[in-house]
Amino acid sequence: MQCPRPTLKRLSFKLLGENPVARTLLVSALLAQSCLMMPAASAQTDTVVLTDLHLIDGTGQPSITGATVVVQNGRILAAGPSDAVDVPVDAAVRSLAGKTIIPGLINSHGHAGGVRGLESGHYSTENLLRQLRLYASYGVTTVVSLGDDEAPGFALRDAQNSPGLDRSRLFVAGPVLSAATPEQARTLVDETAALQPDFLKIRVDDNLGRTPKMSPEVYRAFIQRAEYHNIPMAVHTYYLEDTRDVVAAGGDFVAHSVRDTHVDDAFAQLLISREVCYTPTLTRELSTYVYEDEPAFFSDPFFLAGLDQPEILDTLRDPQRQQRTRNNAAAQQYKASLPIAMANLKLLADAGVTIAMGTDSGPPARFQGYFEHLEMSMMQDAGLTPTQILYSATGAAANCMGLTDIGTLQPGNWADFIILGQNPLQDINHTRSIEEVWIAGKAVPRPGF
């Protein structure tokens, strides 16, 4: 049976009402999801039962000690307290002796395919696969790429609904959109929509006064045309007032922290009322200045395990390069902005805004996989609890990005999860105690780890 690719747009971004087009899209998405849950004729049929484990299922509900997870045909068949889970006859049963299982991490704002070492311009299927396997080695089993996506990325996106998947899942936005007039904006949305992206992305930022900022009439045209095509619009912003206006105009996802000033409760309530999620990307700010000296993580074995070009560190250690960073006005401004971003994250999370973990990793020196764990550590430093952070990186991220069969370990979802040696609810840094990463119901290779 040939199943259609599901519509992964977050239909709940906007009220469907009586709109017949929206209703059709919703029915199509549900039919596609149900089709994907039917095992393919060539799918693996073995059933694996993992028992005696501590389960954090990604829903935000309390964790379960003494749990069992049943995996069949690449998906979760059952997960919960062991006395409430039926173990299929002839299943392969394995005790995890108290280890913790969490869903695979979702990066709601990453990039993939373009960078090799510290150089851009390397977008290819081969480089995409290398990076997606690196993300997977770190337990980041899904990457939402918000921009600079080319045809090979779309092809890999379309091929990933399979029990044979052995790398991270990828969702794509196509090019980052920019226009000088509303007419150009609408045309660009129409052209990009024909590619069937999962999201669209625009930038409303002047790069600290160094470049022109997209005008309100242009970004409103982008947002309105994206809404016409029912494609969620992610917006790169920096300033509070810009962010407030793009959300009021219908923007669907705030792709970076507000960093120029402290947010207020009115802004938090605007995000909540509009059902708009917020991703902090704290490591994006960190990456702009951290190489002014040698970062502590250069000696972290968890970081070094995923580094396939050690000579990168020699370049980043170069004294002249470090001095240029110390003298760079933009880098130092972003450094000063980071405490504001962290304070805003805490205020918004406490107010009830939905936070989706994201890093903007992928550009040079924003190390894929490792930076997601560093991001979560910085979120903890900002005052979020491990429970809040784990939810932001699993179930909340999936809901925010409209990803319907990942993010939680619920029946029918893909069996993408991490086996940890330590409990991350005690310290979010325990997400680094990875023993195995499973994608589509099987452990994937982790070279170097």
- pLDDT digits 0-9 by tens, 295-349: 999 999 999 999 989 999 999 999 999 999 999 999 999 999 999 999 999 999 9
Residue 8: its pLDDT value, please?
37
The whole-angstrom separation of Cα 405 and Cα 412 is: 7
Spatial CB neighbours of 306, under 8 Å, sequence gap ≥ 6: 134, 137, 138, 367, 368, 369, 370, 448, 449
Angle at which helices 216-228 and 182-193 cross, to 10°:
30
The reply to whether the predicted model has a pTM over 0.85 is yes
Question: In terms of C-beta density within 10 A (0-12 exposed, 13-18 middle, 19 or more buried), how is residue 314 classed?
Answer: exposed
Q: Match 């006395």 to its residue by tokens.
A: 83
Residue 24: its pLDDT value, please?
32
pLDDT in tens, 184-236: 999 999 999 999 999 999 999 999 999 999 999 999 999 999 999 999 999 99
Q: How many residues does the chain have?
A: 449
Q: Closest by alpha carbon to 179, among 114, 131, 223?
A: 223
104-407 maps to CATH 3.20.20.140: yes
The answer to whether the beta carbons of residues 184 and 219 sit under 8 Å apart is no
The answer to whether the beta carbons of residues 118 and 365 sit under 8 Å apart is yes
Residue 39: its pLDDT value, please?
36
Residue 28: its pLDDT value, please?
38
Paired tokens of 407: 């993010």
- Gap between the terminal Cα atoms of the chain: 39
pLDDT in tens, 67-115: 999 999 999 999 999 999 999 998 999 999 999 999 999 999 999 999 9
The answer to whether the beta carbons of residues 111 and 144 sit under 8 Å apart is no
